Structure 1
Amino acid sequence: MSELTTVARPYARAAFEFAVDSNKIEAWSEMLFFTAEVVNNPTMVKILTSDKTAQELAELFLNVCEDQLDENGQNFIKIMAENGRLRFLPRVAQLFAALEDEHKKQVDVNVVSAYGLSKKQLDELSKSLEKRLARKVNLHCSIDKTLIAGMVVTVGDLVIDSSAKGQLGRLSNTLQS
């Protein structure tokens, strides 16, 4: 994963900076996610691992994408093909989305709770997280009854575990040490 990110990051940054400068962030996001889907297609995976030249790969890829890419998007694909990096497009799209969220001052938050949360609880949680993170929060909720009670909130690398299962686990570790 780290090699994937290391290789993809400069492409994502370059695409994002260009998108910001040309005021086309949404269009670039759509193009990158479309190309990521193309790369993930099983037939395309075989083609990308074949012994085709960079130019052949770029032409084939652009033919598949047809009207989904503007001229700059096509040039981006050609550069990635020349550098043998087309297979990294899904990670480029993910990193681009993260840069877009950072630019918009928003963050995705995963909330796993033991039971469904009410609208009021979700609003309070959202407001609290927005205050703590100084960003607009997009909640993605799911239910896991094994938590017994409470919830686990994940924001990037930050994990807030207020579940009964987590508390019992920490108590058990404390008692065993």
Structure 2
Amino acid sequence: MAELTTLARPYAEAAFKRAKQTSSVTEWSEVLQFLSTVTQDQGLMEIVSNPKVGKPKIKELFLDICQDKVSAEAQNLLKILIDNGKLSLLPTISVMYEEQKAEDEGYVNVELYSAYPLTKVEQSKYSAMLEKQLHKKVNAVVSVDKSLIGGILAVAGDKVIDGSIRGQIHQLAKRL
């Protein structure tokens, strides 16, 4: 995973820098999410990974798929990724771009994992606590993970705040 991040970072930074220059941050965000979704199609990626299919054919295929949904600059990024054999980085590039966008706009995307569905009041309470701790506005997405037993696990980029019962049991086991 770290290798993917290292490889994707320059592309994400370049895309974000260009988006800022052209005041098209939201458009680039949508394009990268679209391209990320396209590259996660198993059938398409089997074609891409087939050594008998050359890079010109792969470019043609992707440009046909993306023709109306992708700007000329995004098409150039797509061509560069295909030429460098880095097409599989698009999902990571999209995630890293969103992180830079959030940083620039002064908020942080947080994934909250709970052992049970949270009410709106509980979500607000946890978001407020995280805002104080992270010193940024929090955009939280809540998922249920029954393996936590109870409590909350918050993931903000590379920062993990484990307030779950499972995490506490694990810490206790390490101390013993």
Structure 1: distance between partners of 2:46 and 2:145 = 38
2:172 partner amino acid = L
Give the aligned CA root-mean-square deviation in angstroms. 2.2
Q: Is this contact kept in 2: 1:150–1:163, CA < 8 A?
A: yes
Report the TM-score when normalising by structure 2.
0.85
| Residues 146-155 or 60-69, more deviating | 146-155
Cα deviation digits, residues 117-176 of structure 1 (max 9, x gap): 4433332322221122121101222344554443232323333333344334433443x3
1:62 partner amino acid = L
Structure 2: distance between partners of 1:137 and 1:56 = 43
Structure 2: distance between partners of 1:135 and 1:2 = 25
Give SS of 1:67's match: coil
Q: How far off is 1:91 after superposition?
A: 1.6
- Structure 2 gap ranges (5+): none
Q: How far off is 1:81 after superposition?
A: 1.9
| Residues 130-139 or 14-23, more deviating | 130-139
* Other-structure match for 1:104: 105
Q: Identical aligned pairs, as a percentage? A: 38
Cα deviation digits, residues 42-62 of structure 1 (max 9, x gap): 221122112333232212210
- Larger C-alpha radius of gyration, 1 or 2? 1
Structure 2: distance between partners of 1:5 and 1:105 = 22
- Structure 1 gap ranges (5+): none
* Other-structure match for 1:56: 57
Structure 2: distance between partners of 1:25 and 1:72 = 13
Cα deviation digits, residues 42-100 of structure 1 (max 9, x gap): 22112211233323221221011120111111122122222222222122112111111
Q: Is this contact kept in 2: 1:48–1:87, CA < 8 A?
A: no
Q: How many residues align?
A: 175
Give SS of 1:129's match: helix
1:63 partner amino acid = D
